[in-house]
Amino acid sequence: MVNSRTSELDHSTIKPNRKIWNQIKRDYELYLFLLPIIIIYLVFKYYPMYGIQIAFKDFSPSRGIWGSEWVGFKHFIDFFDSYNFWTIMTNTLTLSVLSLVFSFPAPIIIAIMLNQMLAKRYKKIVQTVIYAPHFISTVVLVGMLNVFLSPNSGIVNHIITLFGGDPIMFLADEGWFRPLYILSGVWQETGFATIIYLAALAGVNPELHEAAIMDGASKWKRVMHVDIPSILPTIVILLILALGNIMGIGFEKAFLMQNDLNYATSNIIPTYVYEIGIQKAQYSFSTAIGLFNSVVNIILIITVNRIAKKLTETSLW
């Protein structure tokens, strides 16, 4: 091991840059293939990172990013001191943590159940149906919430009144924003999210099941002691990704579901960044909030990854 490493080192020191240059010359076409993506990333991903500095400046369009004056952490402090800082933080965290708690386990359970289904045809039908909502756009999903939950004509309120209840103004009620956001998310994405777990379950060594059957294990026991432990690495990876994205909760649905009446719970960081930045054109303040959000997010994903590595020896990197 040690020997091979040193010989590799020698190899590269004896033939220095010459070799790499020859390689690049030989493969120049491959680098041309890479050129478009590199240009796109430099311009549209990396240049905006340079633009982040306006979070520490008072950006004025006429003076440009570079010419605007430095103000240090002023915008961050303003945000932390603002009267709605805690509301927005609480809303963002509550919404994403609750979404995760309810939407993360669902596909695992459904995948395990589907995996136990022996009738192939029926299984296929169930799968086709439960994947389908994934292909519905966010606008249509929120539109469906609107028509189903309409206080006058929606089917949900028809059912409520049928059982003698009073119609509920679901979308105009701040208390209903979170349940609706989460439930509609579960409805839309659970099916599609099962695909990965089904793939993992298909990879479970059949000999483990055979051995368990020999030992007289029931289906339930095999699920608990064979299936679940076998897909645990997949679960951990997806959990890290999900936890790391806690602050990155989607803008689109919250924005579409938001109205003046549910603002108290629907005002989350991404919608606030949009409101302040695009609608009110306070570019620097909005950028500062966005930056705060992504920094928290990066810290989260690094921490979670580290913890996962220690506890389960599974990690993203």
Partner 1 sequence: MNQLLKRKSKGDMWFDIVNYFMLTIVMLLVLFPLYFVLIASLSDPNLIYSGEVWFFPKGFTLDGYGRIFSDSSIWIGYANSILYAGLGTLIGVAVTVCAAYPLARKGLAGKSAIMWFLLISMFFSGGLIPTYLLIKDLHMLNTIWALVIPGAGGVFNVIIVRTFFQSTIPDEMWEAASIDGCSNTRFFWSIVLPLSKSVIAVMVLYHVVGFWNGFFDALIYLNDENKYPLQLVLRNILVQNQANSGMMIDVESYAAKMRVTELIKYGVIMVSSLPLLILYPFLQKYFVKGVMIGSIKG
Tell me if 250 sits within 8 A of 181, measured CB to CB: no
* Both tokens assigned to 64: 């440009």
Shorter beta-carbon distance to partner 1: residue 95 or 269: 269
The β-bridge partners of 70 are 57
- In one-letter notation, the amino acid at residue 299 is I
Angle in degrees, 0-180, between the axes of helices 105-115 and 174-202, rounded to the nearest 10: 40
The β-bridge partners of 69 are 58
Q: Which of 152, 166, 215, 310 binds partner 1 (CB under 8 A)?
A: 152
Shorter beta-carbon distance to partner 1: residue 95 or 231: 231
Other C-beta atoms closer than 10 Å to the C-beta of 295 total 11
Footprint of partner 1 on residues 87-146 (CB under 8 A)? Answer: 110, 113-114, 116-119, 122, 125-126, 128-133, 135-140, 142-144, 146
Shorter beta-carbon distance to partner 1: residue 133 or 268: 133
Work out whether 169 is an interface residue with partner 1 (CB under 8 A).
no
Q: Which of 63, 219, 225, 306 binds partner 1 (CB under 8 A)?
A: 219
Closest by Cα among 115, 119, 122 to 195: 115
Work out whether 172 is an interface residue with partner 1 (CB under 8 A).
no
Footprint of partner 1 on residues 281-310 (CB under 8 A)? Answer: 283, 286-287, 290-291, 294, 298, 301
Q: Which of 182, 243, 273, 304 binds partner 1 (CB under 8 A)?
A: 273
Q: CB within 8 A of 166, min separation 6: which ones? A: 160
Footprint of partner 1 on residues 22-81 (CB under 8 A)? Answer: 23-24, 27, 29-31, 33-34, 36-38, 40-41, 43-52, 54, 65
Tokens 């596909």 belong to: 107
Work out whether 232 is an interface residue with partner 1 (CB under 8 A).
no
